[in-house]
Structure 1
Amino acid sequence: MSSRELIDPESLPALDAMLAAVPGGLHAIPDIVQRRATSRAVRVRPEVPADARVDKEDRTVPGPEGEPDITVRVYRPKGATGPLPGVYVIHGGGMIMGDVEGEDPTATWLCDALPAVVVSVEYRLAPEHPYPAGPEDCYAGLVWTAAHADELGLDADRLAVYGGSAGGGLAIATALLARDRGGAAIRFLMPLYPMLDDRNETPSSHAVTDVGAWDRSVNVEAWAWYLGGREADGYAAPARAEDLSGLPPTYIDVGTVDLFLDEDVDFAQRLVAAGVPTELHVLPGSYHASEKVAPDAALSRRFWALRLDALRRALA
């Protein structure tokens, strides 16, 4: 049976419309610069409430030692008083695409709905900047966020790290770096359908080849560009991390028609075995990032409701 036959019927038309707009999908565009430009031109912006009252500011902050400064976008609810919980957001894009602007709808929604101070980080992308540029930039932005909590009006003891897909893998890598380097304290970790394993050996990584959202061929390509010929370690590919103890309480969700299904479920089980409080949701019929491609589907609304509930409980 084709993977496409397993997709939630309500979430399929939006995917087909996206593939009609970009025949073959974004991954059929071989030039990465053109692929990024096309992605920016066609991306949807689903989650922002029409009446969101959010102030936004781009800041330039120190990057990793000896490396360029990085940009973060800071979101704060208008008129908010007192320290708020914080959410540090890492965008997706397979380590090769994506930016703060593309994650703006989600960051705005989180800021408005929780409410919280949100800091979204712009990290360097492969293949121009292979590993370890991405996680090091993300970690530097987290350290800056925690160090400037008072200035930002956030409670450093209530700080979550949030990211989807590549951003989910980078969220876990950032948490591992914070644990191992004694950096910023993280209250909660929310990696959504995270990209974790460069080996591409699981059954789901072999099964998802014809969906058109994020299939095996582009995943293999993205890992090769991201690693740049280096051997992956546990920070590059968190599925390889041997010790998961000491990570913050974690929420993971993933769909059954996502090639990351098996590696994400396995990672969640390893977190539980390591003593990390872990919440896992596997949603039937969901393809990779379907809640963004088909935001009006009931399945998509369930994704967002589960996440918001988990964040509110964790950051209360």
Structure 2
Amino acid sequence: MPTARTTSAPPAGTSLPAARSPDPRQPHAEPSGALLWMHGGGTVMGTVRQGHAWCSRVADELGALVVSVDYRLAPENPYPAGLDDCYRALRWLHANAIKLGIDPARIAVGGDSAGGGMAAALAQRAHDTGLPVRFQLLVYPMLDDRTVLRAEPHKRTIYTWTPTSNRFAWTAYLGRPPQERDDRPYTAAARRANLTGLPPAWIGVGDLDLFCPEDMDYARRLREAGVESELRVEPGMYHGADALFDGKAPSMTAFRNNMLDALRNALIKP
């Protein structure tokens, strides 16, 4: 069975709580895959503990190393602080792959909500710097600050994450209100013009989610750029509902199972 442990990413000291891996007493003939996970919270709140059940499940069922990044939060630490922490953690995983018993060619990045947006931006930055990423698991990701500029949301009923919440979060993360033009790299994954060469992606979102249009558009653009991309739009699902009702509502259990299957296909295959 996997065991929980805490470690750090030297030399910068980025904290990586809730790292989980197969029991070291049960040696594996081959290195395992790994998932670098970024928690949600609009970049302004949240902790690694909130993803503990999901990270544990990935470790348990896939035998993979899972590391949750305790990245710095806005507004005290605006862009690019959080993304820098995630990038440093990814570099640490690659640098310590042999010691950790993982295959550096099978490292996925993923996250939910703001963490999903962080994972998408991280995949872009890793691609540009030559740091391999096998797969990106983007769970209702927060991809486009320009959503704040829309006059009306795509549906009248949006639960848990509202346009007001979104405006506050993006303003805190960017250090100023969103605007049509922003030339800083990796601020919002959807701003990137050329998506060619990015790792394959799974994107899941509910049709009641504020992020649904931007997530659907990003999946479309990935496919048009030749990137393998699976999109799951869950009817009647609002933001974060899977975490609340996994195991209680069949649709949310199926949503989570689909997430796991996508990771399995990406990480288990050599």
Please give the TM-score of this superposition, normalised by the length of structure 1.
Answer: 0.78
Write the letter of the residue equivalent to 1:290.
A
Q: Which residue of 2 aligns with 1:274?
A: 225
Alignment of 1:116-131 (within 5 A): 116-131=64-79
What SS does the corresponding residue of 1:280 show, helix, strand or coil? Answer: strand
Q: Which residue of 1 aligns with 2:136?
A: 189
Distance 1:191 1:222 in 2: 18
Distance 2:20 2:45 in 1: 22
C-alpha spacing 1:113/1:204, structure 2 compared with 1 (3 Å): farther
Distance 2:237 2:183 in 1: 29
Shift in Å, 1:210: 5.2
Q: Which residue of 1 aligns with 2:255?
A: 303
C-alpha spacing 1:158/1:264, structure 2 compared with 1 (3 Å): same
- Does residue 221 (structure 1) correspond to residue 168 (structure 2)? The answer is yes
Coordinate RMSD, CA, aligned: 1.9
Percentage identity across aligned positions? 42
Distance 2:95 2:264 in 1: 23
Quick one: which of 52, 65, 72 aligns to 2:16? 72
CA offsets 1:135-170 (integer angstroms, 9 cap, x no match): 111001000011111111111111111111111110
C-alpha spacing 1:196/1:205, structure 2 compared with 1 (3 Å): farther
Distance 1:205 1:132 in 2: 29
- Does residue 98 (structure 1) correspond to residue 43 (structure 2)? The answer is no
Equivalences, count: 259
Distance 1:210 1:221 in 2: 19
Quick one: which of 139, 142, 154 aligns to 2:90? 142
Shift in Å, 1:202: 8.1
Write the letter of the residue equivalent to 1:195.
M
Quick one: which of 271, 280, 283 aligns to 2:234? 283
Distance 1:143 1:86 in 2: 13
Structure 1, unaligned runs of 5 or more: 1-52
CA offsets 1:266-311 (integer angstroms, 9 cap, x no match): 0000001111011111110110111111221111111111111111
Write the letter of the residue equivalent to 1:189.
Q
Which range is displaced more, 89-98 or 53-62?
Answer: 53-62
- Does residue 87 (structure 1) correspond to residue 35 (structure 2)? The answer is yes
Distance 2:61 2:90 in 1: 22
Structure 2, unaligned runs of 5 or more: none
Please give the TM-score of this superposition, normalised by the length of structure 2.
Answer: 0.90
What SS does the corresponding residue of 1:257 show, helix, strand or coil? Answer: coil
C-alpha spacing 1:242/1:234, structure 2 compared with 1 (3 Å): farther
User: Is contact 1:191-1:251 (8 Å) kept?
Assistant: yes
Shift in Å, 1:199: 1.3
